[in-house]
Amino acid sequence: MNTKKNLKILIVADEGGQFFYYKGAVEELLKRGHNVSMLFAKGADTEFILGSLKQFQAVNPGFEFGAAYTPSSSMNMVLIKRRFSTYRRLLLAQGRPKFYSNRVIIYLPFFLRFAARHNLFYINAFIKSGIFGKWLGYVEEKIPPDKNIIAQLRALSPAVLVASTGDLSSTSPESEYLKAAKAVGIPTALSVVSWDHLETKVTIQIIPDILLVWNKIQAEEAEKCHWMPRSVIRIVGTMFFDVWFETRKSPPREEFCARYNIDPKKPILTYFSSSGVYGDEIEHLRKIYKAIEGLGIQLVIRPYPSYTKRKVYRRRLKFYRSPESSGVTLIPPSSLRPFTEDSAQIFYDTIYHSFAYIGIGNSGMIDGMLIGRPGITLIDDHYNDIQSESPHVKHLIASGALRVAKSIDSLRNIIKNLQTGKDGLEAKRQAFIKEYLRPMGIKVPVAQLIADEIEKLLK
C-alpha cells in the first residue's frame, strides 16, 4: 500500500492486557515502517504486563508505551451522560435479558439507582424516550474534550489514533480520546475487541472515522443499536483468536498426562469456567459431575482467567479443592490468561488432548473450536436467560457448531457419543469460524487487514 513511512500510530486501551490483543497489529505496523505508541488506562503497571511491554520494547525500538487519562470523578458530567447512554441503549434493546441493563444501574448516580431498578415514576420510560436521547446528545456535544488529553495528543503528535471499545462503567478512555483527536484533526479508528461488547456492554459515544468490527453481525449491531453510519464500518475479523491459526505441536499424550498426574488411558473432558457474571457455577458443575459418573472420564477444569480475589472465584476454588471434586484436575492450577506463549501452549495442549470441552457460554468455547475439538453447552434454568437470550452466545448456539444439552441425561448421551468419536459438526464449526471470526478469508491474518485500514487513514 502506498503510504508514508515512519509515522506514529497511537493506540489507546482500557487495560494492559489489551497489549496482547493488539500485539499482532503492532508488529505488522512496525514491520511496515511506522512507529507505535500505546497508552493504557490501568493494569499496565502489574509485574507481568509491565515486564511483557518492556521486553517487547527492547526488541522493537519503534514501540513505546505510557499512561492514558481517565475521568477522575464519579460525578463528572460527561461520565454520567455516557453511563445513561449505555443504560438507555440496553433498555431499548429488544428481546434481551434485563440482566444486561440492570447491571449498569450500579454506575448511575446513587440517588437514582433505586428508582431505575424498580422503575419508580416510570423513569425507565423517560430514559428510553427520544427527548432524553436528544438531551444526552446535546450534553455530549456541549462538553469540550479533556484539556489534559488535548495536550497529550499535541505532544505525541500521532498521525492516527486507534481506540478500543471500553467497559460498562464508561471509565475506559476511548470516548475522551476519540473526542479530543477529532477536535485537533487526528484521524480516528475504533476497534471492537470482544465478541459481546457491542451487544451487551459498551455504547459507542463518539463516531470514529472508521469502526473495525469482526463480522456482518457486529456491523448490523453497530448500525442499528449504536447509530453508526454504515460508511464508517469496516469488517475485518478479530485478532483475538489469531494465535490459534498458527501451526502448533503438542507433546505426546503420556508426557502431557504425566505433567498433571492424569491417567493417559482415561478420555479427557475439559470444562471452561466462566466470568463472575455467571455466579459460582457450583450447581452447574454438580450436574456435569452427575452426567459423567461411571463413564471413566477425567474431568479437567480450566479456571476463568481473571483475578482470584473476588468472592465468586474464591468460592469456586474452594469447591474445586473440596472432596466433592475429588478426581478433578485444574489446568492450569490457578487463573492464567493465554497471553504468553507458555500459557497459550498450556491451553492448546489441554484442549488438544481432550476429546471435547464444555462451558456455559464464554469465548473459550471459540478457542476450543479453533483447536479442533467439539464443544458442548448445558442449558439449564439458572443460566437460561444468559445462554438462550444473550445475543453473542445465541449466535454461537444458532450456528449449530456446538452440541446443546438441556438435561443431565441428554448431556450424558452427548458425552458418550463424542467419547466414541461420533461428532458430525466439523463443517458447521468451520462455517462459524469463517463467517464470525475471519469473514475476509480464513487464511488472511486479521492483523494485516487492520494495519491496511489504519494505513488508509494515513493517506
The pLDDT value recorded for residue 99 is 86
- SS3 state of residue 377: strand
Instruction: Order across the sheet with 188-191: list the strands.
Output: 63-67, 35-42, 8-15, 160-164, 188-191, 210-213, 233-235
**pLDDT tens digits for 395-420?**
899 999 999 999 999 999 999 999 99
Asked if residue 251 has a cis previous peptide bond (ω within 30° of 0), the answer is: no
The pLDDT value recorded for residue 76 is 83
**Average confidence (pLDDT) over 284-302:** 96
Q: By CB neighbour count within 10 A (0-12 exposed, 13-18 middle, 19+ buried), where does 279 fall?
A: middle
- As a whole-number percent, the residues of the chain with pLDDT over 70 amount to 95
Cell of 289: 459431575
Which residue bears the cell 500521532?
Answer: 158
DSSP letter at 436 equals I
Alpha helices in 121-167 (DSSP H): 123-128, 130-142, 147-156
Question: What is the spatial distance between Cα 133 and Cα 197, in angstroms, rounded to a whole number?
Answer: 21
18-31 and 446-458 helices, crossing angle to 10°: 60
β-partners of residue 65 are 38
The pLDDT value recorded for residue 292 is 97
Please choose, from the candidates 21, 17, 451, the residue with its C-alpha nearest in 3D space to the C-alpha of residue 242.
21
Per-residue pLDDT for 169 more than 90?
no
Q: How far is CA 320 from CA 283, 300, 313, 331, in A?
A: 12, 10, 10, 11
**pLDDT tens digits for 98-155?**
888 999 999 999 999 999 999 999 999 999 999 999 999 999 999 999 999 999 999 9
Question: What is the spatial distance between Cα 371 and Cα 390, in angstroms, rounded to a whole number?
Answer: 24
Per-residue pLDDT for 237 more than 60?
yes
Per-residue pLDDT for 178 more than 60?
yes
Per-residue pLDDT for 445 more than 60?
yes
The pLDDT value recorded for residue 94 is 79
The pLDDT value recorded for residue 180 is 97
Question: What is the spatial distance between Cα 296 and Cα 301, in angstroms, rounded to a whole number?
Answer: 16
Per-residue pLDDT for 234 more than 60?
yes
Does 3 or 329 have the greater pLDDT score?
A: 329
Contact 434, 444 (CB under 8 A): no
The pLDDT value recorded for residue 97 is 81
Domains of the chain, earliest start first: 8-69+146-237+440-458 (3.40.50.2000), 77-141 (no CATH), 248-437 (3.40.50.2000)
The pLDDT value recorded for residue 4 is 65
